């Protein structure tokens, strides 16, 4: 059974309607029902609350911004890709515009941010960790077959898009931005023991450690892309004879 199937030819409004229906189902499942179950487990085992100040305002702000990104990404996929985000009705055309111009999977980023926002709103470290675990699962399990399918269907255009577009964080300033992020990662790693000693609970350290992990993941992905690009360019350039 194929995991990825191209959407059937249909009017744009139908792709949009199906995308919105999928969004409602996914949001209800992963942002309401599963967090409720995680909260029940958290209370059962007696974990302390996250304990961040103004957690509801932070959660509401992050959830709103992430939801706007998620909806705009889904509609972009439906209109320009002529399909849906669901693998069984995936887009017919490669989408490299809109939010996809900055990162390769803004929809995954939006979903993860929504989950973290729910954790902030509920003052729950376990819900925030549930969302971050989803990020790791997507990166390791979902992303590779999805990118293999895109490579098989679109070939060189997708290869060029993958080479030039980062996965997690927008490359707003080229390699200079990566150097700044690397410096931030190093500084954060040095500051982590002090931060852990200052903050009161392990849950309050989670956002800081997660930010460091995201920076490391972005830099590792970017480094692999740059290495692949350098190897391809070296292979294409003719060797100069003495």
> Looking at residue 100, which CATH number applies to its domain?
1.20.120.1630
Question: Out of 44-58, 68-82, 198-212, which region has the weakest mean confidence (pLDDT)?
Answer: 198-212
CB 115 within 8 A of CB 130: yes
Which range of residues forms the domain containing residue 160? Answer: 1-165
Can you tell me the distance from the alpha carbon of 106 to that of 74, in angstroms, rounded to the nearest whole number?
9
Can you tell me the distance from the alpha carbon of 147 to that of 159, in angstroms, rounded to the nearest whole number?
10
Q: Do residues 95 and 137 share a domain?
A: yes
Q: Do residues 80 and 120 share a domain?
A: yes
DSSP letters along 67-123, please?
A: HHHHHHHHHHHHHHHSS-SSGGGB-SS---SGGGGT-S-HHHHHHHHHHHHHHHHTT
Q: Do residues 132 and 89 share a domain?
A: yes
Domain total for the chain?
A: 2
Confidence of residue 178 (pLDDT cuts 50, 70, 90): low
Can you tell me the distance from the alpha carbon of 241 to that of 238, in angstroms, rounded to the nearest whole number?
9
CB 168 within 8 A of CB 217: yes
| CB hemisphere CA count around 198 (13 angstroms) | 6
Return the residue matching tokens 């293999």.
Answer: 148
Question: Given 165, 190, 205, which residue is the final one in a domain?
Answer: 165
Q: Do residues 121 and 221 share a domain?
A: no
Can you tell me the distance from the alpha carbon of 206 to that of 132, in angstroms, rounded to the nearest whole number?
10
Q: Do residues 152 and 202 share a domain?
A: no
In-domain check, residue 235: no
* Residue 150 φ then ψ, to 5°: -65, -40
Indicate whether 17 pLDDT > 50.
Answer: yes
Q: Do residues 28 and 114 share a domain?
A: yes
Question: Out of 92-106, 163-177, 210-224, which region has the weakest mean confidence (pLDDT)?
Answer: 210-224
Indicate whether 180 pLDDT > 80.
Answer: no
Please indicate whether residue 1 or residue 89 has the higher confidence score (pLDDT): 89
Mean pLDDT, range 36-65, rounded to an integer: 91
Confidence of residue 235 (pLDDT cuts 50, 70, 90): very low
Q: Do residues 146 and 187 share a domain?
A: no
DSSP letters along 121-157, please?
A: HTT-HHHHHHHHHHHHHIIIIIHHHHHHHHHHHH-HH
84 CB burial (10 A radius; 0-12, 13-18, 19+): buried
Q: Do residues 207 and 113 share a domain?
A: no
Can you tell me the distance from the alpha carbon of 122 to that of 128, in angstroms, rounded to the nearest whole number?
9
Q: What is the pTM of this model?
A: 0.74
The percent of residues above 90 in pLDDT, for the chain, comes to: 50
């Amino acid at each position: 059974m194929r995991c990825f199937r191209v959407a059937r030819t249909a009017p744009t409004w139908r792709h949009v309607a199906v995308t919105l229906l999928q969004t409602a189902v996914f949001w209800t499942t992963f942002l309401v029902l599963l967090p409720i179950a995680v909260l029940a487990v958290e209370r059962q085992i007696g974990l302390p609350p996250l304990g961040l100040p103004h957690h509801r305002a932070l959660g509401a702000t992050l959830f709103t911004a992430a939801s706007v990104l998620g909806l705009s990404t889904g509609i972009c996929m439906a209109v320009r890709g002529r399909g849906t985000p669901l693998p069984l009705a995936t887009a017919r055309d490669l989408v490299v515009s809109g939010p996809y111009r900055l990162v390769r999977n803004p929809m995954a980023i939006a979903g993860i941010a929504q989950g973290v926002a729910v954790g902030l709103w509920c003052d729950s470290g376990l819900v925030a960790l549930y969302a971050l675990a989803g990020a790791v699962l997507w990166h390791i399990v979902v992303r590779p077959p999805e990118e293999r399918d895109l490579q098989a269907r679109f070939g060189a255009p997708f290869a060029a898009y993958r080479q030039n577009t980062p996965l997690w964080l927008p490359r707003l300033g080229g390699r200079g931005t990566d150097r700044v992020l690397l410096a931030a990662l190093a500084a954060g790693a040095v500051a982590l023991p002090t931060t852990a000693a200052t903050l009161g609970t392990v849950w309050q350290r989670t956002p800081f450690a997660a930010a460091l992990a995201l920076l490391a993941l972005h830099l590792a992905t970017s480094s692999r892309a740059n290495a692949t690009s350098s190897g391809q360019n070296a292979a294409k350039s003719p060797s100069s004879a003495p």
